[in-house]
Every structure is written in structure tokens, then in C-alpha cells.
Chain A
């Protein structure tokens, strides 16, 4: 079981909007920045969102991130078939003295 909880799957039609949630606790999301990663089939993960809501250069503004308390959300608007992928949230967890990085269990996005 992952420290961060994500829904296993979400789906929506092309052109629509979808949100993916990531639930944690005060030792991780509640007190640290969240990042989001997109993993297309057979490829390495790619950074989509960092520091809760910032987009790296080249990431379209269809992708957005937000955080409230101990949860974070990834939003994708104007869905395209090319957005079909697995999405992961990640953050630092400070529950142990040395800390550790944690990922969510991943969410598979299907664009119907």
C-alpha cells in the first residue's frame, strides 16, 4: 500500500476535463510540496507539475495542480487521446527522522 492514495483509474471523453486526487497526511502532503508525473506506456515518467502548481517549460497549461491541506489534485482539461497514461503524485515524507520520498499508487487515465 502506498503512503499516498490515488484512485486506480479515471476516464473521460476527448475534450472533457478530469481531475486526479492524491491523499496523504500532515507528514507528507500537509507540509511539503507535491509533484505530478505522467508515464506514457513503455516510457519513463515525465514531470508535469512541481511545487504543487508549477509547470515545467513545455508542459501545456491544460495541466494544472493544486493542494489543500493533506490532499493534492491534478487537473487536465481539453483531454486528448495522447493523454492516456498513468499519473503519479509524489512528495517528501517527514514521518521518520531521515525522511523519505513517497509516490502514490498511480492512476490510469483512459480517454474514451
Chain B
């Protein structure tokens, strides 16, 4: 079955760069149509999509955060990495990675999420 798990620091300081890793199993990011996305959720607020990487290395970013985000994949390790520069307290959120199936438009499997707090 498909599983995803996020890992990374739980606390970062303002202006630092956040690096999060999504380690997955049960699918391959070399399969045509498959993607892995990152979504975040500030405490008590709504979901916000951040980035998506496809099997063919096509990358899409949230227009409002594009200048701060980089998404990459390591197919051999079954990992997707998201970096976000210049972190600010407003970036405090639970960060999720999710599987995008090859057909249709959805995120059908989600990781458990990891809470990242930005504070000095």
C-alpha cells in the first residue's frame, strides 16, 4: 500500500532555510503521471498547496511562494525534498506531502504531517 512520511526540523529560526523530506513507499515516481505534492496548514487555518513534482521532473509552485520554494526528487531513494528559504513566523504550520495518482486530479494518499515552528 502507499505510504508517505514527512521528516525535517521541528523548529527553525526566522530567515533560515527549511528543508523537508518526504519518504514514500508503495509507488514509484518514475511511473508516468504520478506526482508528489506538498501542502501546509497553519494552526487552525485552511490547507495551502505549496508545490508539486511529476514523474517527468515537471515542477509546479504556488505563485505566491514560488520565489522561496524548490522541490526535487530522488527516484532511487523514493524521496521528494522541499526547501523553503527565508522562513518567517507566519510559515509556522503542519507540512504534509501527498501522492498524486497518475489519472485524475487529486491527492489520494497523505503523510501524517510534520509541525514546523518558526521562532527565534
Contact = CB atoms under 8 A, between A and B. Distances in A.
Contact of A44 (B62, B108, B113): B113
Nearest to B47: A103
A96 B49 CA distance: 15
Contacts of B112: 44
A48 to B, nearest CB: 10
Interface string A7-30: 000000000000000000000000
A101 B104 contact: no
B110 A46 contact: yes
A60 interface: no
Grouping DSSP codes into helix (H, G, I), strand (E, B) and loop, the B interface class, with mixed when no group exceeds half, is: loop
A51 B36 CA distance: 18
Interface of A: 2, 32-33, 35, 37, 39, 44-47, 50-51, 54, 56, 88, 90-92, 96, 98-106
Interface of B: 37, 39, 46-49, 52, 60-63, 96, 104-113
Given A39-B47, A51-B105, 9 more contacts: A2-B46, A45-B96, A50-B104, A98-B61, A100-B49, A101-B49, A101-B60, A102-B49, A106-B46
Q: Lowest 8 CB-CB distances: which A-B pairs, in order?
A: A35-B106, A50-B106, A101-B49, A33-B105, A44-B110, A103-B47, A106-B46, A51-B104
